[in-house]
Amino acid sequence: MSNFELFRHIDPKLSDAASKAEEHYAREDYNACLVKTRQIGEFLADMLCDRHNLYLMDASFNTALGALSDQVGLPHWVMGIFRNIQQHGNRAAHS
């Protein structure tokens, strides 16, 4: 059983992605883990956009992060975490 099953009631996709990231990490498949972690970041950014009634035509991670930064004013340190996840996930996906 995954450590992330508790997220299932919030969003099954979030729970599944977190469980998969955990599995990849346990198998030492770090690139796949980073790709799944990026997907978790995307889900969280989408959830924040929904919570703040930001309905974006382009649902890309980059667009969501821009809206969260510009329109919601998330703290810089939070945006830094999201950008870090995005960059490392992108790098892992292309290696």
pLDDT in tens, the chain (95 residues): 788 888 899 889 999 999 999 999 999 999 999 999 999 999 999 999 999 999 888 789 999 999 999 999 999 999 999 999 999 999 999 98
The answer to whether 37 and 89 have CB atoms below 8 angstroms apart is: yes
Query: Residue 14: enclosing H or E segment and its boundaries?
Result: helix 12-26
Q: Quote the CA–CA distance of 46 and 92 in Å, as a whole number.
A: 21
Tokens of 71: 């329109």
What pTM, to 2 d.p., does this model score? 0.89
C-alpha 60: how far from chain center: 11
